[in-house]
A and B are shown apart, each in its own frame.
Chain A
Amino acid sequence: MSRSILDIGYLPLVDAAPLVVAQKMGFAEAEGLSLNLHKQPSWSALRDGVALGTLDAAQMLSPLPVAMSLGLGGLPTPMDALMVMSVNGNVIGVSNEIAAKMRTGGWQESFRDPLGTGNHLIRATGRRLRIGVPFPFSMHAELVFYWLGALGLKTPGELDVHTIPPPLMSDAIAADEIDAFCVGEPWGSIAVENGTGELILPANAIWAFAPEKVLGARRDWIDEHPGETRALMRAVVGAARWLGAEENRLMASEVLSEPGLIDVPDGVLDRALSGHLIMKSRALSLHTPRFLEFYSSAANFPWRSQAAWIASNIAARVGLDRTDAMRTAMGCFRSDLYRANLADLGIDMPGASAKMEGALSEPTAVASAKGSIILGPDAFFDGTVFDPSPQG
C-alpha cells in the first residue's frame, strides 16, 4: 500500500506535540501516512495555507475554525475541528514593573485566585490595561475577555488587547508595548527566563477545561479525503494518548527540543509538560495540576458545546446573531467523525456530544459507550454554567 503524504502546519509551541509525536514516534506511519510538518511564521500564514490548499491540515487555535466558518478574518472558508489536540496550557504574565506594583498593592502571589489576582492587576494598571494575545481568534483572547470582563474591564479604552506572535511576547513586554500577556508555553516561561516578566496565573484558573488547540482542516478537504482524514485522526489521537502517559514525558520534551521545531531547551519545555511552572526569576517551581492535558478526561473529544461557547462569545463581541453563530460553530466541531473514526481504537466515547460547560467543579463519572467516563473539572472561575442550547 502506498503511503499518503500530508502537509501539516504548526506553530512553535509545546502543544504542537501531538503532531510532532505522531510524525516522529511512528503513529502516522502505522496509519499509512507520512506527515510533512511545516512550521508557520504566524497564525494568519497557517490559516492561508490551509484555506488555499498548500497545507492539508494544521494545528489550530480552537476559535480559528469557528471564526473562519463564521466568515470572520481573512480568507473566510468553511473549516472544521476534527478533534481537540490539547486542553489548557496557557499562562498569564505581567511586566516586572506591574508585578512590583501589584506586590505594593498587597498581592500575595495567590496563583490560583483569578478574582484577587485580576483585581490587583487592574488596580496596578490604573484601569488601562494593555494585554498581548497571539491572535484575535484564540482561546487566549476569549479567556482574557471573559476574566477581565467579569472583573469590570469592558470598554476598549480600559482593556486594550494587542495581537503579538507568541515568540515575540517576551520582547513586547520588555519594550513596554504591553503590561501583560496571555500566551501558550514555552513563551511565558521564556519571558521568565529572559527576566522580562513574571507569571501570575495559569489560564486554567479561569476555565478549568478550555479546548486549546484543535486538528483543523477545510471542510471540502475532509469531504474529499475520508481515508486520509480517518488515518490522520487515528495517528494524532495515538500520539495524544502516548503524550498523556506520565512515563513518556521526558521523551516528549526530548523529541520537542530537536533543532528546528521550537528551538527552546528541553528543561523549559518540560515545565509545561510536567505542570511545574517557574513563575518568576530565581523562584522554585509551582505545581499546577492539569496545566496542559493531551488525553485524559476525554480531552480529545470535540464537544459541540465548546464550539458553542466560543461562538457565543465571538458573536457578542463582533455583533453577529448569537443563535446562528452557535449553530454554525457546533457543526464545525466534528464529534460525528470523532465517533465514527476512533471508536474501534478503544477510546471511550461520551454518551452525549454536548454538555453544560462549567458544571463540574470535581472530576465526575458520566455515562459513556463503555459504561462511564471521568470528565472534568471544567468550571469557570466565576461559577457560570454555559448552556449550549440556543435558548440557554
Chain B
Amino acid sequence: MAEALKILVVEPDEPRARMIMDGLAEAGNVDVTVLGTATGLARRMAEIAPDVVLIAMSNPSRDTLEALSVASGFNDRPVAMFVDQTDDATTRAAIEAGVSAYVVDGLHKDRIKPVLDAAIARFNMFAKLRTELAAAKTALAERKTIERAKGLLMTAKGISEDQAYAILRKTAMDQGRKVSEVAEALVTASDLLR
C-alpha cells in the first residue's frame, strides 16, 4: 500500500475544518494536519512537507500560499495550483465549491482525485448548511415581523387576527410585494409615529 498522503488544511473555521477532516479520512489513506492561521505558513510547510494543501478560495491567506508555490528554494517540494494535475470538470467543481488545492509536483492524478472529490463534497455540504441556517433565520425574522404587524392592526382597528392577516395579504397582492415586506413597512412606520 502506498504511503499515506500528507494533507495540510488551512482553515480558521473550526466546524468547517472538522468536516473537511472527516471527509478526507473517508477518502483513504491520508495524514491530515489543520492549520488555523496562516501565521508562519512557510515554516509549517517546510516542516510538514505536505503532498496537498487545501485552502478555501475565500481565505485571503491564499496569496501567501501562492507565493510559496512560485518561490524556488523554500523547500524541495514545490506545490503548484491543482489545475495542471486534474481535469477541467474537477477544477470547475472545486472553484464552485470554493476550495483551492496546491499539489506537489509529480504526484499522480489518481491519488489526488479522491482527496479533491472529498474536499469538494465537504465544502459544498458546509455551504449548504450555512445557506439553510441563513434561510431559517430569515424565515424566523419574517414570521416575527408579521406577528408584530398583525398585532398593530388588531389594536388600531379593533379586528381579529385573521382579519389583520387578510389585510396584510391583500395589500401585498395589490402592490406585488411579499407579506413580510408589507409587515416590515407597517412596523417601521408605526415606530416612527410612536
Give which listed residue, A44, A156, A177, contacts B66 with CB less than 8 A. Answer: A44
B62, A44: Cβ atoms closer than 8 Å = yes
Q: Is B162 an interface residue (CB 8 A)?
A: no
B59/A42 in contact, CB under 8 A:
yes
Min CB gap A171→B, angstroms: 9
In the complex with contacts A52-B92, A136-B71, A163-B67, A75-B62 CB distance below 8 A = no
A45 CB contact (under 8 Å) in B40, B42, B58: B58
- Whether the Cβ atoms of B91 and A45 lie closer than 8 Å is no
Min distance, Cβ A213 to any Cβ of chain B, angstroms: 16
CB-contacts of B57-86 with A (<8 A)? 57-73, 80-81, 83
Interchain CA distance A164-B39 in the complex, whole Å: 10
What is the size, in residues, of chain B's interface with A at 8 Å between Cβ atoms?
Answer: 27
By a CB distance below 8 angstroms, the chain A residues around B70 are 72-73, 136
Question: CA A128 – CA B190 in complex, angstroms?
Answer: 65
Shortest Cβ gap from A360 to chain B (Å): 33
The A contact surface, by secondary structure, is loop
Known: A72-B70, A74-B69, A135-B67. A45 touches B62 (CB 8 A): yes
- Quick check: A135 and B66 within 8 Å, CB to CB? yes
- Among B40, B61, B70, the most chain A Cβ lie within 10 Å of the Cβ of B70
B residues near A43, Cβ cutoff 8 Å: 63, 66
| CB–CB A163/B64 < 8 A | yes
- Closest residue of chain B to A134, judged by CB? B63
Given contacts A52-B92, A75-B83, are A136 and B60 in contact (CB under 8 A)?
no
**Taking the complex as formed, is B100 at the interface, i.e. its CB lies under 8 A from any CB of chain A?**
yes
Q: How near does chain B come to A130, taking the closest CB pair, in angstroms?
A: 11
B63 touches A162 (CB 8 A): no
Whether, in the assembled complex, B95 has its beta carbon less than 8 Å from a beta carbon of chain A, the answer is yes
Q: Which of A43, A44, A156 has most B Cβ within 10 Å? A: A44
CA distance A177 to B39 in the complex (A): 8
Q: Is the CB of A136 within 8 A of B67?
A: yes
A361 at the interface (CB under 8 A from B): no
The contact string, 1 if C-beta is below 8 Å from chain B, for chain A 67-101, is 00000111100000000000000000000000000
Bound state CA distance, A163 and B42, in angstroms?
10
B60 to chain A, nearest CB (A): 4
Contact of A74 among B59, B61, B73, B80 (CB under 8 A): B80
In the complex, are the beta carbons of B60 and A41 less than 8 A apart? yes
Inter-chain contact A48/B100, CB cutoff 8 Å: yes
Min Cβ gap B9→A in Å is 17
A residues contacting the other copy or chain, number (CB 8 A): 25
Please, what's the 1-or-0 string for A165-178, where 1 marks a CB less than 8 Å from any CB in chain B?
10110000001010
Given A54-B95, A135-B67, A177-B40, A41-B62 contact (CB < 8 Å): yes
Determine if B80 and A41 form an interchain contact, defined as CB atoms under 8 angstroms apart: no
CA separation between A42 and B65, bound complex, in Å? Answer: 11
User: Is the Cβ of A45 less than 8 Å from the Cβ of B69?
Assistant: no
| Bound form: Cα–Cα A226–B174 in Å | 45
Residues of A within 8 A of B72 (CB): 318
- Shortest Cβ distance from A140 into chain B, in angstroms? 12
Contact between chains at A167 and B95 (CB < 8 Å)? no
Distance A381 CA – B66 CA, assembled complex (angstroms): 30
Partner of B63 from A52, A72, A75, A163 at Cβ < 8 Å: A163
Q: How far is the CA of A41 from the CA of B38 in the complex (A)?
A: 14
User: Quick check: B60 and A167 within 8 Å, CB to CB?
Assistant: yes
Contact residues, A344-390 vs B (CB, 8 A): none
Nearest-neighbor residue (CB-CB) of A319 within chain B: B72
Query: In the assembled complex, which residues on chain A have CB atoms less than 8 Å from the CB atom of B83?
Result: 74-75
Per-residue contact bits, chain A 230-270, to B (CB 8 Å; 1 contact, 0 not): 00000000000000000000000000000000000000000
How long is the Cα–Cα vector from A165 to B68 in the complex, in angstroms?
14
Chain A residues near B67 (CB-CB < 8 A):
135-136, 162-163
The 23 sampled A-B contact pairs (Cβ below 8 Å) are A41-B57, A42-B61, A42-B62, A44-B100, A45-B58, A45-B100, A48-B57, A48-B81, A48-B100, A52-B91, A52-B92, A54-B95, A75-B83, A136-B67, A136-B70, A164-B64, A165-B60, A165-B61, A165-B63, A165-B64, A167-B60, A168-B61, A318-B72
Q: Which residues of B contact A (CB under 8 A)?
A: 39-40, 42, 57-73, 80-81, 83, 91-92, 95, 100
Interface positions of A (Cβ within 8 A of B): 41-45, 48, 52, 54, 72-75, 134-136, 156, 162-165, 167-168, 175, 177, 318
Task: Return the 6 tightest CB-CB contacts between A and B, nearest first.
Answer: A74-B81, A163-B67, A165-B60, A44-B66, A42-B63, A42-B62
Known: A41-B62, A135-B67. 10 other contacts (CB 8 A): A42-B60, A45-B62, A45-B100, A48-B100, A72-B70, A135-B63, A136-B66, A156-B73, A162-B67, A164-B63
